């Protein structure tokens, strides 16, 4: 069946779908986390770089100020000892600043290179311009010092500070560019996240669509299979009921045929035989009498046999006289055959019971009585049929061996149940080993409008 | 004594002609008409004026039992013998209820038919020996199984007399005349009997009498 193949295929498809979805989601999450961490590190790096350069630059700048101030103090100092102290301080500062400049050179970014090398040049020039000044005597310093400070030191200092500001500005630009870069990275992450989200959603929707369709298809399939099974079961039930009905009709017609045709003909044979023998003249008759008698016996036996067979197939009383006379006949027959005491008590049982009910009750009682007499070794059987407004209650009780109804359930019981269920009734069996058996049938009477439907 | 006029009804032609031969061999028997179904039988009643009607049960159009009912209703003086394949009590009771006085099994009709016709013509009830035997046997078995005391013992001598006469086919009025009692007394006795024996109607009373061997 193709349906089954499709059903088997959906497992790998569903597995792949759900697996893919999970992998995609995990990848998207991991990727986003990694990108964010990267961006964050980058951002921190940029900040740190900026701060480090800024600090270094500020130190250089303050040292430039300090150098200006120290040169001025040196120039204006009349005492040679103190001037020598300033000079030493300046030399220390020179070394210090060289170190700072060297350190900054390491942090340098491309855009800063031009102003920085200018600053370096200026600083070197500054120190070089100081070299002759250090050799000046106190008098020389007093005479030329002020002019030197005004003409050399201050412009040089201003130029250097301007260069430092230029570098700081570049630095700030650098920082802004870094921030922009980070923002750009964030935007990239966002885009990537959005793409994976859309992808996941799309795949999820596809999967949901596929699963929904599959589930609906399966549900439909299961539903139709259930309907098929239910229909098949109904058909089977109907068929078995029809079989039982057909069997009953067949039995009825064979019994009638035997009874009315074969039996009648045999009776006619008997009458004819009797007439023939009466017509034979006396001396011959005595000689033929034994032979005539044997033929007569044979025909009589056949009539009886035909009648018995017909009654066994289906007692004509059921159709001719009704349920109660048929049950009473059955009881008498069983008593006659087995010596069992079979008692039939009926109450308000209508003569107008439809054929289905008559046949059902008759056959159920027949089976129960048969079981009681053949298997249960009962001595007494009591059959009651009681009709109420809307139901027919039948009970068959025996004092036999009893049995375990839950375990032993022969074909006979199944047949009874089948007949009873078909009429919407219920069968209860109360029995246990050694306690006899009580069989209770409750048949709802729904169709009393058409009595003797098949008669 | 004039001949007994007989109407013979059976749908089986061979059977019918055989029975006719059988009956007409008897002195004093005359088959005045033949019918092949119940309806024809009822229709022939006026023209044939029979004393005894021999009716087969299984006949088309109108079965023997229903024909018997109509005949005894419209012609109470006519005696009806039922010919049947069925030996069961239920059928016998139904025939009696329909007014038949004889019930004959088709197993062995040739030997008993003459006796039956004669008996019912004399106003007696008549059953095939096989049936009488069966009824009595069943009754005895029932008595033995139940261990119940014989209900016949419950009846007074007067009631037993009345039972026998009624079972033989006499009407209440006949019984009153024979026993020199009032009709009312006979009816009372009859009612008491039915109550004591738990019977319903004359048909069951006749069966009871057969079972008890009061009549054969």
Least confident stretch, A431-445, B18-32, B197-211: B197-211
CATH fold label, A2-215: 1.20.120
Q: Within an 8 Å CB–CB cutoff, is residue A345 touching chain B?
A: no
Q: What is the pLDDT of residue A363?
A: 92
Q: What is the pLDDT of residue B10?
A: 92
Q: Compare CB distances from B91 to A263, A321, A332 and report the shortest one's residue.
A: A321
Provide mean pLDDT across the span A352-357.
Answer: 87
**Three-state DSSP state, A341:** strand
Alpha helices in chain B (DSSP H): 13-24, 38-48, 64-74, 89-97, 109-121, 129-146, 157-167, 172-179, 183-197, 201-211
A164 vs B45: which has the higher pLDDT:
B45
Provide mean pLDDT across the span A420-430.
Answer: 89
Q: In this structure, what token pair is assigned to residue A220? A: 């439909």
CA atoms of B11 and A268, how far apart (whole Å)? 11
Beta carbons of A68 and A154 less than 8 angstroms apart: yes
Residue ranges of chain A assigned to CATH 3.30.565.10: 318-444
pLDDT > 60? residue A449: no
In chain B, where are the structural domains located? 4-128, 149-211
CA atoms of A449 and A231, how far apart (whole Å)? 29
Bridge-based pairing of strands A391-398 and A437-444 is: antiparallel
Q: What is the pLDDT of residue A453?
A: 40
Write down the residue that tokens 């033949």 correspond to: B34
Residues ≥6 apart with Cβ < 8 Å to A43: A178, A179, A182
- Residues from chain A contacting residue B98 (CB–CB below 8 Å): none
Taking all residues of chain B, what is their mean pLDDT, rounded to a whole number?
Answer: 86
Cβ contact, residue pair B90, A328, below 8 Å: yes
- CA distances for A214 relative to A11, A17, A20, A309, B75, angstroms: 10, 13, 18, 63, 85
pLDDT > 50? residue A452: no
Q: In this structure, what token pair is assigned to residue A350? A: 């209508």
CA atoms of A255 and A307, how far apart (whole Å)? 8
- Residues from chain B contacting residue A336 (CB–CB below 8 Å): 137-138, 141
Q: What is the pLDDT of residue A441?
A: 93
CA atoms of B19 and B119, how far apart (whole Å)? 17
CB atoms within 10 A of CB A311: 20
Name the band, by pLDDT with cuts 50, 70 and 90, for residue A364. Answer: very high
Q: What is the pLDDT of residue A260?
A: 82
Cβ contact, residue pair A317, B145, below 8 Å: no
Q: What distance in Å separates residue A259's CA from the closest CA in chain B?
A: 7
Name the band, by pLDDT with cuts 50, 70 and 90, for residue B42. Answer: very high
DSSP type of residue B61: S
DSSP type of residue B148: P
Interface test mutation site (partner B, options A259, A269, A274, A344, max chain B beta carbons within 10 A):
A274
CA atoms of A264 and A356, how far apart (whole Å)? 29
Q: To the nearest whole percent, how much of chain A has pLDDT over 90?
A: 13
Q: Compare CB distances from B15 to A267, A307, A329 and report the shortest one's residue.
A: A267
Cβ contact, residue pair B109, A270, below 8 Å: yes
Residue ranges of chain A assigned to CATH 1.20.120.1730: 2-215
Q: What is the pLDDT of residue A147?
A: 84
Cβ contact, residue pair B14, A265, below 8 Å: yes
Q: What distance in Å separates residue B130's CA from the closest CA in chain A?
A: 12
CA atoms of A311 and B5, how far apart (whole Å)? 35
| Contacting A residues, span 370-429, partner chain B, CB-CB under 8 Å | none
CA atoms of B202 and B93, how far apart (whole Å)? 10
Q: What is the pLDDT of residue B149?
A: 57
> Considering only CA atoms, which of B62, B64, B57, B67 is closest in space to residue B87?
B57
CA atoms of A282 and A289, how far apart (whole Å)? 10
Name the band, by pLDDT with cuts 50, 70 and 90, for residue A1. Answer: very low
Provide mean pLDDT across the span B52-64.
Answer: 88
* ipTM of the complex model: 0.72
Least confident stretch, A435-444, B12-21, B162-171: B162-171
Interface test mutation site (partner A, options B110, B136, B141, B211, max chain A beta carbons within 10 A):
B110
Beta carbons of B68 and B98 less than 8 angstroms apart: yes
pLDDT > 80? residue A143: yes
Q: What distance in Å separates residue A429's CA from the closest CA in chain B?
A: 27
pLDDT > 80? residue A160: yes
Name the band, by pLDDT with cuts 50, 70 and 90, for residue A141. Answer: confident
pLDDT > 50? residue B131: yes
The H or E element that residue B81 is part of is strand B79-84
Provide mean pLDDT across the span B172-187.
Answer: 89
**Three-state DSSP state, A439:** strand
Taking all residues of chain A, what is their mean pLDDT, rounded to a whole number?
Answer: 84
Q: In this structure, what token pair is assigned to residue A360? A: 């059902």
**What pTM was estimated for this model as a whole?**
0.61
- Residues from chain B contacting residue A264 (CB–CB below 8 Å): 12, 15, 58, 85, 106
Q: What is the pLDDT of residue B20?
A: 92
- Residues from chain B contacting residue A292 (CB–CB below 8 Å): none
- Residues from chain B contacting residue A274 (CB–CB below 8 Å): 18, 22, 110-111
| Contacting A residues, span 196-225, partner chain B, CB-CB under 8 Å | none
pLDDT > 60? residue A447: no
Q: In this structure, what token pair is assigned to residue A348? A: 């308000």
pLDDT tens, B5-23? 999 999 888 889 999 998 9
Provide mean pLDDT across the span A309-336.
Answer: 88
CA angle A369, A421, A381 (to 5 degrees): 15
Q: Compare CB distances from A268 to B12, B89, B90 and report the shortest one's residue.
A: B12
Q: What distance in Å separates residue B158's CA from the closest CA in chain A?
A: 32
Q: Compare CB distances from A274 to B14, B94, B110 and report the shortest one's residue.
A: B110
Q: Encode burial over A245-270: b for 16+ CB neighbours within 10 A, e otherwise.
A: eeebeeebeebbebbbebbbbbbbbb
CB atoms within 10 A of CB A218: 14
> Considering only CA atoms, which of A426, A423, A416, A420 is closest in space to residue A447?
A423
- CA distances for A350 relative to A52, A327, A360, A381, angstroms: 117, 14, 15, 23
CA atoms of B170 and B162, how far apart (whole Å)? 9
Q: In this structure, what token pair is assigned to residue B139? A: 């009754």
Beta carbons of A440 and A384 less than 8 angstroms apart: no
Provide mean pLDDT across the span A197-203.
Answer: 86
Cβ contact, residue pair B106, A341, below 8 Å: no
Q: What distance in Å separates residue B106's CA from the closest CA in chain A?
A: 6
Q: Compare CB distances from A317 to B22, B58, B90 and report the shortest one's residue.
A: B90
- Residues from chain A contacting residue B141 (CB–CB below 8 Å): 335-336
Provide mean pLDDT across the span A388-400.
Answer: 89
Alpha helices in A77-153 (DSSP H): 80-107, 113-134, 138-148
CATH fold label, B4-128: Rossmann fold (3.40.50)
pLDDT > 60? residue A450: no
Q: Within an 8 Å CB–CB cutoff, is residue A336 touching chain B?
A: yes
B31 pairs with which residues across the strands? B6
- Residues from chain B contacting residue A260 (CB–CB below 8 Å): 58, 85
Q: How many residues can be counted in chain B?
A: 216
Q: What is the pLDDT of residue A340?
A: 85
Q: What distance in Å separates residue B108's CA from the closest CA in chain A?
A: 7
The H or E element that residue B34 is part of is strand B29-35
- For the A318-444 domain, the top CATH level (class) is alpha beta
A1 vs B182: which has the higher pLDDT:
B182
Which residue does chain A place closest to B84, by CA atoms?
Answer: A264
Q: Within an 8 Å CB–CB cutoff, is residue A36 touching chain B?
A: no
pLDDT > 90? residue A38: no
The H or E element that residue A191 is part of is helix A154-256
Q: Within an 8 Å CB–CB cutoff, is residue A325 touching chain B?
A: yes
pLDDT tens, A91-133? 888 888 888 888 888 877 777 788 888 888 888 888 888 888 8
CATH number, domain B149-211 = 1.10.10.10
DSSP type of residue B2: P
Write down the residue that tokens 């100081």 correspond to: A130
A229 vs A432: which has the higher pLDDT:
A229
Name the band, by pLDDT with cuts 50, 70 and 90, for residue A183. Answer: confident
Q: How many residues can be counted in chain A?
A: 455
CA atoms of A153 and A141, how far apart (whole Å)? 14
- Residues from chain A contacting residue B108 (CB–CB below 8 Å): 270, 300
The H or E element that residue A15 is part of is helix A2-76
CA atoms of A133 and A126, how far apart (whole Å)? 11
Q: Within an 8 Å CB–CB cutoff, is residue A329 touching chain B?
A: yes
The H or E element that residue B55 is part of is strand B52-56
Q: Which long-range contacts (CB under 8 A, 24 or more apart) does A165-169 make?
A: A166/A115, A167/A57, A167/A112, A167/A115, A167/A116, A167/A119, A168/A54, A168/A57
- CA distances for A286 relative to A283, A289, A437, B151, angstroms: 6, 5, 59, 48
Which residue does chain B place closest to A320, by CA atoms?
Answer: B91
CA atoms of A196 and A213, how far apart (whole Å)? 25
pLDDT tens, A202-259? 888 888 898 888 889 989 999 999 999 999 998 988 888 888 889 889 999 999 888 8
Name the band, by pLDDT with cuts 50, 70 and 90, for residue A2. Answer: very low
Q: What is the pLDDT of residue B153?
A: 74
CA atoms of A358 and A392, how far apart (whole Å)? 11
Cβ contact, residue pair A268, B58, below 8 Å: no
- Residues from chain B contacting residue A345 (CB–CB below 8 Å): none
- Residues from chain A contacting residue B27 (CB–CB below 8 Å): none
Q: What distance in Å separates residue B120's CA from the closest CA in chain A?
A: 21
Q: Within an 8 Å CB–CB cutoff, is residue A80 touching chain B?
A: no
Write down the residue that tokens 């199944």 correspond to: A414
Q: Within an 8 Å CB–CB cutoff, is residue A273 touching chain B?
A: yes
pLDDT tens, A273-321? 888 888 888 888 888 888 888 998 998 889 889 988 998 899 888 888 8
Q: Within an 8 Å CB–CB cutoff, is residue A326 touching chain B?
A: yes
């Amino acid at each position: 069946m193709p349906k089954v193949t499709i059903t088997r295929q959906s497992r790998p498809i569903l597995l792949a779908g759900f697996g893919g979805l999970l992998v995609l989601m995990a990848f998207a999450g991991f990727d986003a986390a990694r990108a964010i961490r990267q961006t964050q590190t980058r951002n921190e790096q940029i900040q740190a770089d900026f701060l480090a350069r800024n600090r270094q630059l500020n130190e250089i700048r303050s040292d430039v100020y300090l150098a200006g101030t120290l040169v001025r103090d040196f120039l204006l100092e009349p005492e040679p000892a103190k001037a020598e102290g300033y000079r030493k301080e300046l030399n220390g500062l020179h070394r210090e600043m060289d170190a700072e400049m060297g350190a900054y050179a390491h942090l340098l970014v491309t855009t800063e290179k031009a102003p920085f090398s200018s600053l370096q040049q200026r600083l070197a020039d500054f120190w070089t311009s100081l070299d002759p000044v250090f050799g000046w005597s106190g008098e020389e310093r007093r005479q030329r010092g002020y002019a030197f400070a005004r003409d050399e030191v201050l412009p040089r200092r201003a130029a250097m500070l301007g260069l430092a500001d230029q570098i700081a500005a570049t630095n700030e630009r650098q920082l802004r560019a870094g921030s922009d870069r980070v923002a750009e990275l964030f935007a990239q992450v966002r885009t990537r996240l959005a793409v994976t989200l859309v992808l996941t959603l799309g795949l999820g929707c596809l999967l949901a669509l596929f699963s929904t369709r599959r589930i609906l298809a399966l549900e439909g399939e299961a539903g139709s299979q259930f309907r098929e099974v239910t229909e098949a079961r109904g058909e089977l039930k109907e068929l078995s009921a029809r079989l039982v009905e057909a069997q009953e009709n067949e039995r009825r017609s064979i019994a009638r045929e035997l009874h009315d045709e074969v039996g009648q003909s045999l009776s006619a044979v008997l009458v004819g035989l009797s007439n023939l023998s009466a017509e034979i003249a006396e001396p011959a008759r005595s000689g033929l009498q034994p032979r005539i008698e044997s033929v007569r016996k044979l025909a009589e036996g056949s009539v009886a046999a035909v009648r018995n067979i017909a009654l066994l197939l289906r007692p004509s009383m059921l159709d001719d006289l009704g349920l109660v006379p048929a049950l009473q006949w059955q009881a008498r027959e069983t008593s006659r055959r087995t010596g069992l005491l079979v008692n039939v008590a009926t109450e308000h049982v209508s003569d107008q019971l439809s054929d289905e009910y008559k046949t059902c009750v008759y056959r159920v009682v027949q089976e129960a009585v048969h079981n009681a007499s053949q298997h249960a070794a009962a001595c007494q059987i009591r059959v009651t049929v009681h009709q109420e407004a809307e139901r027919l209650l039948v009970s068959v009780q025996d004092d036999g061996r009893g049995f375990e109804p839950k375990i032993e359930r022969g074909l006979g019981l199944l047949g009874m149940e089948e007949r009873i269920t078909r009429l919407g009734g219920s069968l209860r069996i109360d029995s246990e080993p050694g306690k006899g058996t009580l069989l209770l049938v409750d048949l709802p009477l729904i169709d009393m409008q058409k009595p003797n439907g098949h008669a | 004594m004039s001949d007994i006029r007989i109407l013979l009804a059976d749908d089986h032609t061979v059977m019918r002609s055989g029975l006719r031969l059988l009956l007409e061999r008897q002195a004093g028997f005359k088959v005045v008409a033949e019918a092949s179904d119940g309806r024809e039988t009822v229709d022939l009643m006026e023209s044939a004026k029979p004393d005894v009607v021999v009716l087969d049960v299984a006949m088309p159009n109108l079965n023997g039992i229903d024909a018997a009912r109509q005949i005894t209703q419209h012609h109470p003086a006519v005696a009806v013998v039922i010919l049947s394949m069925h030996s069961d009590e239920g059928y016998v009771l139904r025939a009696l209820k329909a007014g038949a006085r004889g019930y004959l099994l088709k197993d062995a009709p040739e030997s008993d038919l003459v006796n039956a016709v004669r008996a019912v013509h004399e106003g007696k009830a008549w059953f095939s020996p096989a049936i009488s035997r069966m009824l009595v046997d069943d009754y005895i078995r029932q008595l033995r199984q139940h261990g119940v005391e014989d209900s016949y013992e419950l009846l007074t001598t007067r009631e037993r007399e009345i039972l026998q006469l009624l079972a033989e086919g006499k009407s209440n009025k006949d019984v009153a005349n024979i026993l020199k009692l009032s009709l009312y007394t006979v009816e009372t006795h009859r009612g008491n009997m039915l109550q004591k024996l738990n019977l319903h109607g004359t048909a069951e009373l006749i069966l009871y009498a057969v079972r008890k061997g009061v009549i054969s």
